[in-house]
Structure 1
């Protein structure tokens, strides 16, 4: 049911209050929600609840404020809503859980804001507003689930996946290859998308879920028994994998002992569990691929592509690169790979990128190492020391690496929030329209520039 005009006005009037007190409300909400509904703990990252990051409470507070601000026209926040919808579908959120969340959220607003602010009229307006938004989101998420089920090999909910190969890519990153434990097929995905991986965490007494970008091209129909999409050719999946497999590449946080009682609140806890305790033959649960960050389907055959990443942010861009190289028109498209890592020891796919640029004349790379080791040689192991500053690129680099003079060029970025925002601003200063720049963030929340 549409909101009454008076209700929209009331919700809009609470925007300044939410801007000031929203995070306090959402922190209180999550504490109560997970305390009163322990069955929901498996849906939320423990570390995303805790200071100093408080990613999930901060994201919810920002979403509530955005909803109140744009209550008369939700168009500006639809990209944020789609990001949340994709995340919810990946977590397999159920429609009935929206009622639990709504009840808890309104209760927290009432308790934290007090009766003088959260009057009966405000409560009624926000109840109607929340229900309206929940209906929109449930409808969109049901459509996502339906699309998953229609694909060849698609499924709804969680699927048992077996690790069929582990490959150490760098000092701190390992690729895991997965194939369905039931021997069935897996659906294609859009290059850049992620999957949710759910594993048992006995120390927490419930499961934990993390999202990891798929780091290889989608498995082609009728593909050979090669786990890496047929580009690298150096990793063969054994017979258990069938013809189609998924790859994720996981960075571990060094120095974390998963047996330490305090480890469970560390942001790298699950990635360390994967590295330390999961081997070939072990089983995890996985969601369908999803996410709104992906290679554009309408990308013209000759449109130049610039892939800009930092650290493990290269994983979705590697999927894009591998996909572009498999296309029939691969040699017609100019591609740039711009990446920064601390040094070669922690630079996944460094050898692959070097080989690709050697074999494909249309692919150029610029690799930065922020802290190169003494044994590394500039011009051999990396191109430049420090971090990439796109504005410092000279005229030739802007033309040949950034394709600034080409209006069809597209830009895809993944890395820390500040890294992406800074590079997006630099591109815009050079005349690139924001619509041609896409960014992904490996955390709860959205990216602004």
Structure 2
């Protein structure tokens, strides 16, 4: 048995702070001890409580000035869009045509997909995301490249081949038949290997015919351990276009529901322009939403009401949505979510923001039995954050008196330099100094 202990400040979430008292929703130890055995958490708590019970000979690494947190969970992102991050342009539909679709055509080439997948996963880890739900492209090889790269890193990752048979360049269109064949082959080959999961992935209703959406629902129903991952109600022009393509439906969500894509395993990205009625129908089905504040701002899509979604009971995770999202950092997304709330007149407590980036994301992805916090028995995916990574951060942290203060400062001032280390199943996967031999 391999065993290692880490002494530092520790924090993780036990529940939604909007639904439970702060003392019950969050565990914080200014002098804590994390014990890892064989890739799983063996103990998490106060050093004075746990140290006396440590087995003799257990190595303890002291990490003064550091904060250990669970790895972040990115509830929605696109690895093929890495090279169009920070692309100037119009709103959603124009941005897809001008930037996304041209970039995605290159992923027919396996060598290109391999290089992009490796870079993408390294950027996730560099920024502290240890779990992600990821869009690939329409090409089967794009999924294989990403899964190979994730398997090599022992990373918990869910992804899927995009289904898209209309309203896109011919080079990016599949058919109902090829989409089904590729999706089912990928599920057979990859689902459950290492720490991988699969998501049936129609891009959005605009680019899939009724026949393809029906096929996607059939495949999802036939494989009850896979997710459904798509976009919904991101942009007003998109919503109007869906209304034109699917007349007679109650709303955008009803389109997905008709074809069997509203399930307890569905993750709908954005939901910016989603009514309270639709949100409650999502809750009834057990579906989740991914809040992507950075991309919503960059594309001018609108301001998601986290308050409304939470009041309806929707499980909401936080997504970077690279490349319309401008950063791989979930800490940065916490800050962007706060700004969206400010524009809506809705405050966002720092503990709630931290919950969105960790346990809430794991709940949205149906992985909270494995990751999302550092409860004993869970997989030891965790971060060591340097609270003095930059001179400004160190100076500001010196004045931060509470955990909420510190988390808020991180959400506004942190970048990838804060992530000193990232661990996957107890093994060092990223080190700021480049040393992965620990």
Q: TM-score, normalised by structure 1?
A: 0.23
Which structure has the bigger radius of gyration? 1
Between Structure 1 and Structure 2, the one with more strand by share is 2
Q: Choose between structure 1 and 2 for higher RCO, CA contacts under 8 A separated by at least 6 residues.
A: 2
TM-score by length of 2: 0.23
